[in-house]
Structure 1
Amino acid sequence: MKYSNKNEAYIIIDSVPGDKSISHRAFMLSAIAEGSTYISGISICRDCLSTINCLQSMGIKIDIDISKKTAIVHGKGLYGLSKPENVLDCQNSATTMRLLSGILSAMPFDSVLSGDPSLKKRPMKRIIEPLKLMNGGIYSLNHDYAPLYIKGGKLNGIKYFSNIPSAQVKSAILFAGLYAGNTTTVLEPELSRNHSELMLKDFGAGISTDYFKDTSDGFHISTTISNTDKLYSHDIHIPGDISSAAYFMAAALIIPEMHVLIRNVGINPTRTGIIKVFKQMGAYVNIYPAENSGSEPYADIEIKSSQLHGIVIEGSVIPTLIDELPVICAVSCFAQGTTIIKDAAELKVKESDRIAVMCSELSKLGADITETCDGMIINGKKTLRPSKINSYHDHRIAMTFAVLNAAIGGGINIKGSECADISYPGFYNELKKVCQKSY
């Protein structure tokens, strides 16, 4: 990061880590493409390193320049992965486990994927079920949780109705669909993150998405992929992760007289719910899109401290901000009136039960917050006080309370704060620098 001097109107944040979701997919698809793929703007967080390590364990050469945030992945083609000698350790990364499962289901070898205690609590039935319908030999060794045993083989295409608004589920099926004997279709009620679809198309896969306004079954989005002979390497630029930018956006809103410009942030429409919600709450936000940004658009985001008011957050916007809901919940504590979050039951099966955790830990600070079956109710404008809180080893919880710590002037002790490295190495130092610049 670089920062403007005090004579300028705002603090400039030159970069946030590359988008984690896009980075995972870039490494995986590059590994099964023909030739070498150059990737710039990569995320080098612990989750993405899990994907890199798993691919290297299967014979993929990956040259990484950490200082330049670039990588060259030397792909070996659709069936070029080698049988791993050991269990593939996905550590804390559900994205690694779920997406790789789709690819490994078609490989001519058996494999086992496992992870840390947190990952072993994440539900895997959601991918086991559709992959088995595709004739995939995938089995849980722990009652629908990790570890997973995968006996690779020939796959069949399916038409799958996904009730879960999960890009990971959709991606696992689409990645498996590359190898299926006929077309594979995934139907969703609302469009979840579409990074996989955009990247698959860029790699040359035959993929299309259709939108249906009026349907009797409630499934409005249909994505179809065809059996593919080859994926073709190409250069990839990964924009900054809006989920990482979210913490600086939140800090700017709730710290008096703070004003920031965050550069080169991804603004894929399936990820920009936080911008829509903050604007609805009355936030001062300006978006300056980059020209010719390719499949994944990006922009500079300007945001400053604002008088906020409570709103209802529900429905189709939820999948577009699911990872940002903890920090949105924190910001709601500073808004006038009541904020209601609905339709967010998916938060219960993240790295922690984020509904229960946000309610319990914010209550320790004096927030007026009530847990509901699929969200929470926050009555804002209560004075928050320092306290000791537990992150439950959830990186998004830890970073959310770090923002609150800056907003109330310190005193919040975060147990397990080191877990921020899962998605944002060096986060606390960057937040400290930005907040110091605001005074």
Structure 2
Amino acid sequence: MNGFIDKLSEKLVPIASKLGQNKYLLVLRDAFMLAFPLTMFGSLVVVINNLPFFSDELKGTLGNLFGNGQNATMSIMTLFVTFGIGYYLTKTHDVEPIFGGAVSLAAYLIVTPFATVTEGGETVTGVLTTDRLGAKGMFIGIIAAFLAAEIYSRITKKGIVIKMPEAVPAAVAKSFAAMIPAIITLTIFTLVNAFVTGVFDTNLHDVVYNVIQKPLVGLGSGLPATLIAVFFVQLLWFFGLHGQIIVNSVMDPIWNTLMLDNFEAFQKGETLPHIVTKPFMEIFTVGMGGSGSTLIVVILMAFVMKSRQLKDVGRLALAPGIFNVNEPVIFGMPIVLNAAIFIPWLLAPLVSTTFNYLVMAAGIFPTPTGVTVPWTVPVFFNGMLATNSIMGGVLQLIDMALIGVIWYPFLKILDRTNLQQVDMSTAE
């Protein structure tokens, strides 16, 4: 087993390290984190407006009064992501980032179709619908933002800018410096949009949605792709690499799009279209007590095992584990490069993820609604908030029992080994 792990480490760790340091994936991660506080606020509004014990009439009243809290955050998440991509990518080129963010956002809006809406006999033109600014526009937003930021930054780096005298205030000088790169970048997007609209009588949103987004989202929403993602999260963590950051940087556009789809359906009172979403991945796969769902493992170590080493690590890791922080057990047990627990570390999240997917698909337990739950909310409560049902928390308790059954024999072997080592050292 140790030889196999050493060979796997030699092949996997360099690849994972390069992936984790990829400029574009880091920019994408930071852009989603820029939107996180806003989407968190929107999720809290949704949760409060739709508490299970509220009547439909009260929910409708709260939606009318406080609905803009979600409309201005969760429903237009793509706007924040595109600005974030432009900002952070431009920053990596050592170019003034605020203009890069603004240009990327403008480029995205240029390729976004403005609708004509008729309501109450009055026709309104130039309307931006929230579906284009939310789930349906996520992939075209990401693509447009990356391309716009790259074009803008490269033009600026080539010195194709207006340089003002030193006496001019810095804000004015930066604005003039951004003018030519911004005009060229946005002209390119305007011409592309005009070509697609004029020649093909469609828009880039629908092209990207049908050609790229729908197939990727369909693939990412299935159980096989989800299990592959969970497997690599666990495998990378085993070698001391932050598996969730690396895997999420690749999969977040898909999972967040699925989340927004569910969120929009939940707002409308429709059937939720997806099981796998960002909240599903965070709350019902590897996140119960931290990466690897180790809360039940910590409890078994602290209160069931007999060796001093496991008891001490378990008790030390219990309080952080309740709030889904488990570095104390990952590096204290240790889990990293510990061949003795390689099997349960990989197997338990795969089993619980499969179980959760199947019971949700069967309608036995509710599906996450699409609201974002802070990752530090303890187990049971985060499951309840994510599904807007106490049954979401109950499902997590069942998961913990299932994970505990898988881990128990391996922990018992470690426990006996530790006790034997103590007996041998005492005898000497």
TM-score (norm 1): 0.25
State which structure, 1 or 2, has the greater radius of gyration over its C-alpha atoms: 2
Q: Which has the higher strand share?
A: 1
Q: Which has the higher helix share?
A: 2
TM-score (norm 2): 0.26
